[in-house]
Structure 1
Amino acid sequence: MDIYTTSILISIVVYLFVGNYAGRKVKHLEDYFVVGRNAPTLLIVGTLVASVLSTNAFLGETGFSYASQGGAYILWPAIWVAGYIYGALYFGRYLRRSKALTLAEFFGHRFNSKSVQAAAGVTIVLGLGGYLLAVTQGTAVILSQLTPLSYTQGLITSWLCYTLFTLYSGSRGVVITDTLMFLLFTIMSFVALYYIVDTHGGWLSSLTDLINLDSKPDLMTWHGIVGNDTEWQTPRDYFIWSLITGIAWSFVAAVSPWQSSRYLMAKSEHVVIRSACIAAIVIAVSNLALFAAATVVNLSKDDIFPHDQTMIWAAMNMMPSIMGALLLAGVMAAALSSATTFLSLVGFSVSNDIFPQKNKDDKSLLRFSRLVMLIVGIIALIISFFFPPNLFWLAYYVGTVFASSWGPVAFMSIWSDTITPRGAFWGIISGFAGNVILRFCDSFGWIDLPSYLNPILVGGLLSYFVIVIISRRDKVSEIERSRRLALHRTPQHECNKKQAKKTQLVAIAVIIFGLILTTLQLIYYVYPYQLATGTLNPENRLDWFTMEAILALCWAAIFVPWGVVTYRAIEQSYCPKPTLNQAVNQGGKSTQ
């Protein structure tokens, strides 16, 4: 048994051991669903990062950057991670305030409608069921490449691991293992970057060689390789696609069930905001490290196929054996942690939102939830045998469904006093259907959509206009209005100036992060790129009007304002100024 197989087996054993430990702590339904609403910042950050950085990031997206979009993936600002910040400020903390068990239950209670709850539950099952499929296939690919197991055997093995784990431990086990795995694969991402880049004389030397790589011209431009036989015919097409995709995934980060549901577990609203800001920073930096490492692999071997095996090849050929083994254990950990998240959420929605069990005690509900999870897992396994694996595009198609179907409803449920239950119901359905149907027709060549008519955008706009049109014909009831207003009343125990100051430090970190990333991009990418391509201004001055320079500046343009907004929102929400009467009373007491 080689070191790579051994490391993966050890990580799986640790994973199952932790799950068994966590499962023993589950005493009631709230423990199983939301960890007793007592998770600290580290655990929420861990589960946010681990549930999104799955096989799609480590295999699918790294393969994409290696194959054609190296410069684009490194240069483009992480528009989508800003969704964590505004999602926490304008949805996540209110979601936690509701004390719901699931997101679908939140919608059902907010709109006083079982139909809305069921509609949200069905989209979770369909959407996350597809994501679970992608992650399951990703783990099978890893196992088939690194162990004697075949792809089919890898499917069964990975399925057994995450299904048995999730059935027993629920969310309590998921967040603990997510955090352990998050620490492992985040550290190993930077270790991989160090060894891969060091092989070719450091980053600046690697960047120059990549710019001059004959086999892949334009690999390091801001748009990557475009033209015939690619997804994008022109740089403009890629720009539009990247912009729409970035915005769509920011909505995914803000409201999707596998991200925002983590806030239901948070110890406080301060934990929600801190976790979101830290997760945005960690994910952005981790992605940059992974994409840069995968792109540099071209200098050692530029014909790896399938492309999603790029990091597997690098771990086995460009890193010391022990480090490569740890990296692959981290990749496997990321895949399993995401699978547990998706399976648990699908199981929770089926048992709590689609087929709720009334008049049953906690033990009966726990048994039913576990049975449902087992059935869901079996269905996902069966489909995995017949659906061809395509990690990047499958995750991209499935993930963005929630931007279209949930985005408008989620934010309007908090901020609109005119949205009605029928509007919310048909908004979810129309957004989901609009995205999926257009995507289906485009994939089969029945229609040819221009880049500006991306199904994500069309589905989201359709959802919004359906909500507005239908809600105008109805009337918001007093119970719906009172429930929305109740969400805007900050609990007294959250108004703690000491905690608020700590949370504001995280907001300041977001501002500093944006400034540092822009500076690093300019120094270590844009200037060397212009120097190598001969596009610097006279006297070797930077040309600020190239897309590479503009994209580098966008890091600060995105993160600095959101850091400021977060800082002020904390001040306004959790450090209220005393009213005139309170000031008079305090003044009176001070003179006594």
Structure 2
Amino acid sequence: MEKIIFFVVVAVYVIAGIIVTRFVKSKDDFYVMGEKGSTVLIVGTLAATYLSAVTLLGLAGMIYNEGPVAHAGFGSYGAWLGTLFAVIYVGRKLKALDCQTLPDFFEKRFQNKWVTVIATSIMIIGLLGYGVVQLIGAGVILSEILNIPFPVLILLFTLALLIFSAMGGMYGVVITDTLMFFTMLTIAIVISPLIIGQAGLDQIKNLGEVIPGYYGVNGGADRPFGWVFSQFLMWILFFGCTPSLVSRVFPAKNDFVILKTAVVGVFFAPFMQLLVFIAAAAMMVLQPGIDPADRVFIVGMKDYTPPALAGIGLAGLMASIMSTASTLFVLTGFALAKDLFENVLHKDFDEKKSMFIGRGAQALVAVVVCIIAILQPSSIFWISIYAGSIFAVAWMPTIIGSLEWKRMSSKAATASMLAGIITFIVFGELKRYEIITFPVGFDNFYLAIIVSVLTLLIVGFIAKPTDYELGYYQKIKETRLSTVTIKRILAKHNGAAELKREYKQTLTVAVSFVVISVVLWGYFIVKLGI
């Protein structure tokens, strides 16, 4: 029964993705969904992308083994803050500047080929790593259901994913993400409480007595606090600038949609995560010793829920992977086709040829990710940490500097990105081979952040920005998405009435979710005895 339901639900995702391709008529449709995204669609794609294999497999496994505070209390809280930063700050500013991808911003900001090439290359490397995580997660789930070799499963999953990500572009990703989001909700609000109920909250709370440090800041593995805090910092910086989240803003219809998405989407992300993480701890009560721990939720669904519900839950797990993986395929394909080929080489293609190149680039990315995933170089959690750190140390200082610092130049951007990523990789390898050691609580991530920021400041003060860079900085300061939205709405027939209605709806959504949050989080605080 669970297999039938699983495949029926997954088939619905793929069929929906194929149907959506009919609406892709232009480059704007392919890259930003023609900027037609409603609040429901943008909330759906944001939350679905946020909840990936890292959350439901990697982090759930770490919490199962080591406890929730070190990973959920610090890492996930950092990811939540980073998501808010990505939507409200980075995404809105870039959308106001008519950017369709993040490397688009670097191209517009500096008009420098090398800045665009370096930024895009870093993006491709980081997204490839995060994409590998999703495919490994898919293989883990499918291997639990089907008696098929892991490499074959990875290949089949990649082909299925390409059907709607390559053909539908951002249109296909947003629509299918929203469908998948509702399946993921089943895991959070139905399956997780079932598992928690069978374990019992008292028994879950007592894990701290059975496993020393389980509810401590350092976790059951007694990790150094410096490492724990670095997870908090890394997830803020990674999620604050990762293309997979920032790009969710670009298809939005207007600024009101983005503001409502920030309220609703950022509410659902931690709400769903909290229930999932408590359920992961509950599995330590119900069935300790699951190995590898990435399988904890799969085991929980198969052994502790009815078959029909297990099928939906496994499809929800697959949805979390498909939504993020399809986004990464699309964005990496965009980076190759639009940002490197069209922007850097200054090739001007017609609509049809541009979309053809974009789809071909996605197919190429899929092949590379598929090969790496089959090799399965490491666990889901650790690959995600490495990929996230690359964005955090190389991109975030440059993005903030580009948006906020008048002296920011192409030389400062190039030097900062290269210094950050080279420091992180080189010193990480030196540490891995025990050639050097760091003080307790300090590692190559902290060092790379410091080097990246200092390099940006030093080169920024030494190298004078060009007249173009100064002019574009002024444009950034003068351009606001809220102003653009108001002008567009007022230009319509009965625009004033529509504007008033949008303001009222946004305020109602904000107030409603503040009330819901106070009640909900208050309930959890009381029940969990925090």
Q: Which moved more, 1:243-252 or 1:334-343?
A: 243-252
Map Cα deviations across residues 339-389 of structure 1 (whole Å, 9 max, x no partner): 111111111001112222613211111111111111121122122222334
Q: What code does the residue aligned with 2:33 have?
A: V
Tell me the CA shift for residue 516 of structure 1: 4.6
Q: 1:404 aligns with which of 347, 369, 393?
A: 393
Tell me the CA shift for residue 294 of structure 1: 0.9
Greater C-alpha radius of gyration: 1
Tell me the CA shift for residue 394 of structure 1: 0.6
Rate the CA distance shift 1:369–1:522 in 2: closer, same or farther, 3 A: closer
Ranges in structure 2 where 5+ consecutive residues have no aligned partner: 487-498
Map Cα deviations across residues 264-292 of structure 1 (whole Å, 9 max, x no partner): 11111222232233222211111111110
Q: Which residue of 1 aligns with 2:333?
A: 347
Q: Which residue of 2 aligns with 1:100?
A: 99
Rate the CA distance shift 1:392–1:147 in 2: closer, same or farther, 3 A: same
Q: What is the aligned-residue RMSD (CA, Å)? A: 2.2
Q: What code does the residue aligned with 1:131 have?
A: Y
- Identity between Structure 1 and Structure 2 (%): 25
Does the CA contact (< 8 Å) of 2:173 and 2:326 recur in 1? Answer: yes
Distance 2:35 2:446 in 1: 34
Q: Which residue of 2 aligns with 1:538?
A: none
Q: Which residue of 2 aligns with 1:531?
A: none
Q: Which residue of 1 aligns with 2:282?
A: 296
Rate the CA distance shift 1:484–1:187 in 2: closer, same or farther, 3 A: farther
Asked if 1:225 is matched to 2:239, the reply is no
Q: Which residue of 2 aligns with 1:489?
A: 479
Q: 1:39 aligns with which of 37, 40, 49?
A: 37
1:447-486 equivalences in 2 (<5 Å): 447-450=436-439, 452-486=441-475
Q: What code does the residue aligned with 1:99 have?
A: D
Does the CA contact (< 8 Å) of 1:248 and 1:457 recur in 2? Answer: no
Q: Which moved more, 1:375-384 or 1:310-319?
A: 375-384
Distance 1:425 1:291 in 2: 39
Q: Which residue of 1 aligns with 2:90?
A: 91
Asked if 1:257 is matched to 2:249, the reply is no
Q: Which residue of 2 aligns with 1:525?
A: 528
Tell me the CA shift for residue 313 of structure 1: 0.6
Distance 1:300 1:255 in 2: 38
Taking structure 1 as the reference length, the TM-score comes to 0.82
Distance 2:163 2:430 in 1: 37
Q: 2:371 aligns with which of 348, 360, 382?
A: 382
Q: What code does the residue aligned with 1:482 have?
A: G
Q: What code does the residue aligned with 1:490 have?
A: R
Map Cα deviations across residues 217-257 of structure 1 (whole Å, 9 max, x no partner): 33233432134xxxx2xxxx23x323222222122222111
1:105-116 equivalences in 2 (<5 Å): 105-116=104-115
Does the CA contact (< 8 Å) of 2:430 and 2:436 recur in 1? Answer: yes
Distance 1:78 1:476 in 2: 37
Tell me the CA shift for residue 508 of structure 1: 4.4
Distance 1:363 1:134 in 2: 32
Distance 2:524 2:437 in 1: 36
Rate the CA distance shift 1:92–1:510 in 2: closer, same or farther, 3 A: farther
Distance 1:273 1:9 in 2: 36
Rate the CA distance shift 1:222–1:245 in 2: closer, same or farther, 3 A: closer
Rate the CA distance shift 1:404–1:511 in 2: closer, same or farther, 3 A: farther
Does the CA contact (< 8 Å) of 1:70 and 1:224 recur in 2? Answer: yes
Tell me the CA shift for residue 5 of structure 1: 2.3
Q: What code does the residue aligned with 1:375 have?
A: L
- Counterpart of 2:24 in 1: which secondary structure? coil
- Counterpart of 1:285 in 2: which secondary structure? helix
Rate the CA distance shift 1:326–1:252 in 2: closer, same or farther, 3 A: same
Tell me the CA shift for residue 208 of structure 1: 4.1
Tell me the CA shift for residue 38 of structure 1: 1.7
Q: 1:210 aligns with which of 207, 212, 219?
A: 207
Q: Which residue of 2 aligns with 1:323?
A: 309
Q: Which residue of 2 aligns with 1:56?
A: 54
Distance 1:270 1:208 in 2: 41
1:163-174 equivalences in 2 (<5 Å): 163-174=162-173
- Counterpart of 2:250 in 1: which secondary structure? helix
Does the CA contact (< 8 Å) of 2:139 and 2:153 recur in 1? Answer: yes
Does the CA contact (< 8 Å) of 2:150 and 2:374 recur in 1? Answer: no
Q: Which residue of 2 aligns with 1:9?
A: 7
Please list every run of at least 4 consecutive aligned residues from structure 1 whose deviation after the TM superposition is greater than 4 angstroms: 71-77, 504-518
Ranges in structure 1 where 5+ consecutive residues have no aligned partner: 527-551, 553-592
Map Cα deviations across residues 480-529 of structure 1 (whole Å, 9 max, x no partner): 22222223333645234553454345554665566456634542223xxx
Q: Which residue of 2 aligns with 1:586?
A: none
Does the CA contact (< 8 Å) of 1:54 and 1:334 recur in 2? Answer: yes
Distance 2:396 2:520 in 1: 28
Q: Which moved more, 1:313-322 or 1:161-170?
A: 161-170
Distance 1:358 1:383 in 2: 31
Rate the CA distance shift 1:465–1:381 in 2: closer, same or farther, 3 A: same
Tell me the CA shift for residue 181 of structure 1: 0.7
Rate the CA distance shift 1:71–1:476 in 2: closer, same or farther, 3 A: closer
Taking structure 2 as the reference length, the TM-score comes to 0.91
Q: Which residue of 2 aligns with 1:155?
A: 154
Q: Which residue of 2 aligns with 1:120?
A: 119
Rate the CA distance shift 1:217–1:483 in 2: closer, same or farther, 3 A: same
Tell me the CA shift for residue 83 of structure 1: 2.1
Rate the CA distance shift 1:75–1:425 in 2: closer, same or farther, 3 A: closer
Distance 2:48 2:432 in 1: 29
Rate the CA distance shift 1:247–1:509 in 2: closer, same or farther, 3 A: farther
Considering Cα pairs closer than 8 Å and 6+ residues apart, tell me whether 1 or 2 has the greater RCO.
2
Q: 2:17 aligns with which of 2, 16, 19?
A: 19
Rate the CA distance shift 1:500–1:415 in 2: closer, same or farther, 3 A: farther
Q: What code does the residue aligned with 1:316 have?
A: K
Tell me the CA shift for residue 259 of structure 1: 0.8
Does the CA contact (< 8 Å) of 2:136 and 2:376 recur in 1? Answer: no
Does the CA contact (< 8 Å) of 2:234 and 2:388 recur in 1? Answer: no
Does the CA contact (< 8 Å) of 1:193 and 1:293 recur in 2? Answer: yes
Does the CA contact (< 8 Å) of 2:187 and 2:313 recur in 1? Answer: yes
Map Cα deviations across residues 140-166 of structure 1 (whole Å, 9 max, x no partner): 111111112221221111111112321
Does the CA contact (< 8 Å) of 2:204 and 2:285 recur in 1? Answer: no
Distance 2:376 2:283 in 1: 29
Distance 1:443 1:343 in 2: 30
Q: What code does the residue aligned with 1:353 have?
A: D
Does the CA contact (< 8 Å) of 2:17 and 2:163 recur in 1? Answer: no
Q: Which residue of 1 aligns with 2:492?
A: none
Rate the CA distance shift 1:339–1:283 in 2: closer, same or farther, 3 A: same
